[in-house]
Amino acid sequence: MDKTIRIIDANLNRGREGLRVVEDIVRFILDDAKLASQIKNARHNITDLVQQLHINDIDLLNARDSQGDVGIELDCNSEDIRRDVLHIATANFVRVQESMRVLEEFSKLYDSSVSPKFKSLRFKLYELEKEILPKLV
């Protein structure tokens, strides 16, 4: 098994999960349908881009080793503390942007034409962050 698929799977999940948190904040706290739709589209875009790498869902699942993950016990104190909704949104935007960077790099191993699409999505997320976070202050 190609262990790079495990990295892609972890970052695919990390990115979608982080965007789901942001989407729920925008949808239920800000009540902003337009921004919620943009976040939802970004979340689905991540899945679409990974599919362009021609890695099937079964390979992603087979690469996953949640119980054997040596990083599962690594803890960062800041992950246990959330002061408010702004802090939650910020943490999740950062999580998603980092995962897009990892996907941008590792997609080059499978189809280098997909890498710039992850980069473009990452920069789109920077703009959405800039638009959303001030509304949570």
- Tell me: pLDDT of 19 over 80: yes
pLDDT for 76: 60
Contact in structure between 35 and 26 (CB atoms under 8 Å): yes
pTM of the model as a whole: 0.89
Other beta carbons less than 10 A from residue 39's beta carbon: 24
DSSP 114: T
Tell me how far apart the 2 most distant CA atoms of the chain are, in Å. 46
- CA-to-CA distance for 35 and 74, rounded, in angstroms? 33
Distance of CA 60 to the CA centre of its chain: 16
For residue 62, the model assigns a pLDDT of: 87
Q: What does the pLDDT look like over 106-128, one tens digit per residue? A: 999 999 999 999 999 999 999 99
Which amino acid belongs to residue 31? D
Query: What distances in angstroms separate CA 58 from CA 6, 51, 102, 109, one per listed residue?
Result: 12, 12, 21, 19
